Amino acid sequence: MILKEKVLGNMELLPFGDQALLVNFEQRIQVEVNQKVMAMYQAVKAADRAEVTFLIPAYCSLVIGYNPEISDFQHLRSWLKELKIEMEGSVEPERKLKIPVCYHLSYGLDLKEVAKLTGLKVESIIDLHTSHTFRVFMLGFLPGFAYMGPLPEKLQCARMSTPRKKVPPGSVGLAGNQTGIYPDEAPGGWRIIGKSPLPIFRTQGQEPFLFQAGDLVRFEAIEDARFQEIQVQCAEGIFDWESIYET
Amino acid sequence: MKHNLQIQVLKPGLHTTIQDQGRWGHMAYGVPRSGAMSVLDAVKANWLVGNPPNAPVLEITLMGPTLALEGGGQIALAGAPIKATLDQQPISHLQTVNVLGQQTLKFGRTKDQCRTYLAIRGDWKVASWLDSVSAAVTKPQLLTPQSILTKGLLWVVESQGQLEIRQIHGEPPKNQKIRVMPGPEYSRLNVQSITDFLTREFIVSAQSNRMGYRLDGTLNNFTPAGELISSGIVPGTIQVTNRGQLIVLMADAQTTGGYPRIANVIAADLPRMAQLRPGDPLQFSLVSLSEAQRALSRSKF
């Protein structure tokens, strides 16, 4: 398939300084738009061109860095315009992940507040959060932090007006129509409803990041006993990582 | 002949890190690029000792470290001029310096600029993470434990043979404007804000570091455009916060953000930006992409 308006929608190619190019897709948070971003990201990555220095895919945009010593904006733009994007073929199939989360009040620091804000019972919040499949739209903010969504409307609530100074690693939060997991301890204003025992950002062995943009994620409610068990298994290196990938 | 130089930190200085040109390949996972703030000065220092441009260097910020050297080798300094002595004898800037035996390399404060780069000839035996030895922004003690200098830290640089002394003739820093290209959200600024951005003298605030430079004050008559959908940012991107404050993102910046990106500092002027200290004044001027490209080819070392 040739990169046509029809395929990629209204795509805008803009200079982003003199070492990068910004591809703006339709500016909205939508699965279809993000699929286009990811298709282009994968196609550029697969082309493995020497002048491309880095790539930052986001909700509805893609920043493509280039080495100004061997290329320039004009060249890259014409190449992108001609780039054949195999929307089916070159795009890696979306991975499906099942992420265990303990929604106990001791981990879900803002569960009661979210219940107040949304008018939902705590059980309904957990039901809603575990019954939807979310898409990883992008990674950013911290290494490995996945912005997932869209959240069902009933669960949506604004960020905290005063962010927490320290959110514990593994915390699962809500912000507007997004949900995400803190890979590390960090300041943050997302409303915390639970915690996952899985290390999201792994400092040794395996791939450092659990998530990649385009992943489909489902949360699974677990009891505290199972939470503790998984934590120990991860620390000892005996956790069955295969078990979180769904086929 | 094989030389080994062992470096031990007696005093770490204000903020001294080991940097190469950073980890470019992992920005899609939210990993900051990192690397030397002034790549140009790091490349000069490496050239003076015959190292490849991407070899590790010590990035010294404002107040330098004291290092115990043991063995033989060659070192060189580039970037901000700094008071530096080898066993109490002053050493030259921008020139290869031979070291031998047990010597103490002591740095004072930088002069006029912010960052001095120390290159050491040979192969640095320090741990890397995701293809770079640059100090990691999150969990640096775990991921790159040798790349943020602390008292007692020790590493070795192995090299083959000696190089003839090299020299670069330094130019005094030019006090010219920082050139920028309009960013994706430039057109969202009103005329007063644009005029202010391009005519005012800004001051680098004390809240400036390797992640970004916050500039003092707010843009005249700035009207916030509201939060945008998060999108990519790169070193040199200038964001404007909801209250109109400018942030120039630097090497350790996040990879995405939601503030309007009103401009990008051109590649040729990033080293000069990186050499500004808190309290320094700066002005911006707008250039086109072709001017930016010409400026970059002229700024080649």
pLDDT tens digits for range A84-114: 665 544 556 789 999 999 999 999 999 999 9
Write out pLDDT tens, residues A20-44. Answer: 999 999 999 999 999 999 999 999 9
With bands split at pLDDT 50, 70 and 90, how would you rate the model's confidence at A4? Answer: very low
> φ and ψ at B48, to 5 degrees?
-60, -25
Q: Quick check: B265 contacting A, CB < 8 Å?
A: yes
Q: CATH number for the domain including A132?
A: 2.40.100.10
Do both A45 and A152 map to the same domain? no
Closest CB to B30: pick one of A16, A28, A145.
Answer: A145
| Best of A18, A49, A51 to mutate (most B CBs within 10 Å, chain B) | A18
Residue A89 lies in a domain: no
Q: What pLDDT, on a 0 to 100 scale, did the predictor assign at position B172? A: 67
Q: What pLDDT, on a 0 to 100 scale, did the predictor assign at position A207? A: 83
Residue A121 lies in a domain: yes
Closest CA to B55 of B1, B128, B111: B128
Domain that holds residue A128: 96-246
Enter the tokens of residue A212.
């990649």
Residue A186 lies in a domain: yes
Residue A163 lies in a domain: yes
- Is this prediction's pTM over 0.95? no
Number of domains in chain A: 2
The position carrying tokens 């943009």 is A213
Asked whether the beta carbons of residue B289 and residue A18 sit closer than 8 angstroms, the reply is yes
User: In percent, how much of chain A has pLDDT > 90?
Assistant: 77
Angle of CA points B258, B263, B266, to nearest 5°: 125
Residue A171 lies in a domain: yes
Write out pLDDT tens, residues B123-173. Answer: 999 999 999 999 999 999 999 999 999 999 999 999 988 999 999 997 766
Domain boundary among the residues A20, A48, A82 is at A82
Asked whether the beta carbons of residue B29 and residue A68 sit closer than 8 angstroms, the reply is no
With bands split at pLDDT 50, 70 and 90, how would you rate the model's confidence at A5? Answer: very low
Q: Please state at what angle helix A111-118 crosses helix A122-131, rounded to 10 degrees.
A: 90
Cβ-based neighbours of A56, under 8 Å, separated by 6 or more? A62, A63, A140, B27, B28, B232, B233, B234, B255, B256
Enter the tokens of residue B267.
């590649």
Asked whether the beta carbons of residue B230 and residue A213 sit closer than 8 angstroms, the reply is no
Write out pLDDT tens, residues A137-149. Answer: 999 999 999 999 9
Write out pLDDT tens, residues B6-37. Answer: 999 999 999 999 999 999 999 999 999 999 99
Q: Is the ipTM of this complex over 0.90?
A: yes
| Best of B137, B256, B300 to mutate (most A CBs within 10 Å, chain A) | B256
Do both A10 and A67 map to the same domain? yes
Domain boundary among the residues A82, A109, A132 is at A82
Cβ(B214)–Cβ(B250) below 8 Å: no
* pLDDT for B292 beyond 50: yes
Q: Which residue has the higher pLDDT, B242 or B181?
A: B181
Burial class (CB in 10 A: 0-12, 13-18, 19+), B1: exposed
The position carrying tokens 């916030």 is B224
* pLDDT for B225 beyond 90: no
The position carrying tokens 């790169």 is B234
Do both A122 and A146 map to the same domain? yes
Q: CATH number for the domain including A54?
A: 3.30.1360.40
Domain boundary among the residues A82, A106, A126 is at A82
Write out pLDDT tens, residues A164-209. Answer: 999 999 999 999 999 999 999 999 999 999 999 999 988 776 789 9
